[in-house]
């Protein structure tokens, strides 16, 4: 059995969409509700999924661009409020935690780790989603892009999220799925775990994480290894989902 001592007092920072939860169906559903209302063809699931990591505003703008809108940034500014309103009402229709996420959070929390969500989703939406999924109680803080001086991939997001829960950056691990998570972790100097199954335009394996995971059952061992100083070995734990 893994010695969990290293987790006591450590901070584990999680991205949200594509890392903790499979939220693509509801996000793409909200985008499509707007596109259809505006007379555009809906976005396919495969078209939209990679762009979710950049946040809802970028997802809507990219979707309008794909649909043929000549001024996607302008239309995004005009339509974003409607998008957020629709998404807020349907935020947990189909969104679910990834298999094994709940058990992993219980283990980390039970071992004394501080858990914080570090996401480019707005804080209120993030809190609403996690509350609806009965996951909010696991976290000492939920820090969205509106609660920091600069969002991921800027180091400030991760640094300020760790500070928000009274953590020590030197004893922090970042867990994510995309280039913005990798960028924030590298800029902040923290160990990085990436999942291979999330939302990313660049495959997670190409982002050089310290540890690449394919399943949640490797998270605890990976965090312990990194907190004990095993860095930059880039092993791959588990089989693909």
Q: Annotated catalytic sites, by residue? A: 15
On whether the CB atoms of residues 153 and 182 are closer than 8 A, the answer is yes
Tally: H helices and E strands in the chain: 9, 9
On whether the CB atoms of residues 188 and 159 are closer than 8 A, the answer is yes
Paired with 175 in beta bridges are 14, 193
In total, the chain counts a number of residues equal to 241
Task: Determine the Cα–Cα distance for residues 202 and 47; give it in Å rounded to an integer.
Answer: 14
CA 38 to chain CA centroid, nearest Å: 29
């Amino acid at each position: 059995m893994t010695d969990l001592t290293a987790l006591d007092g450590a901070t584990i920072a999680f991205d949200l969409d594509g890392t903790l939860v499979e939220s693509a169906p509801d996000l793409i559903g909200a985008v499509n509700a707007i596109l259809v209302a505006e007379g555009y063809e809906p976005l396919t699931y495969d078209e939209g999924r990679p762009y979710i990591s950049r946040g809802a505003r970028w997802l809507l703008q990219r979707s309008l661009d794909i649909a043929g809108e000549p001024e996607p940034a302008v239309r995004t500014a005009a339509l974003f409020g409607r998008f957020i309103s629709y998404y807020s009402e349907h935020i947990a229709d189909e969104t679910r935690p990834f298999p094994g996420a709940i058990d992993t959070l219980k283990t980390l929390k039970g071992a004394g780790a501080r858990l914080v969500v570090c996401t480019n989703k707005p804080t209120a939406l993030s809190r609403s989603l996690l509350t609806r999924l009965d996951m909010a109680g696991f976290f000492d803080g939920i820090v969205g892009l509106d609660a920091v001086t600069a969002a991921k991939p800027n180091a400030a997001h991760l640094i300020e999220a760790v500070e928000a829960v009274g953590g020590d950056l030197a004893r922090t691990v970042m867990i994510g799925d995309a280039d913005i998570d990798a960028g924030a972790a590298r800029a902040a100097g923290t160990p990085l775990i990436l999942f291979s199954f999330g939302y990313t335009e660049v495959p997670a394996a190409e982002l050089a994480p310290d540890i690449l995971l394919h399943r949640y059952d490797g998270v605890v061992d990976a965090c312990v290894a990194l907190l004990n100083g095993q860095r930059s070995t880039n092993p791959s734990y588990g089989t693909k989902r």
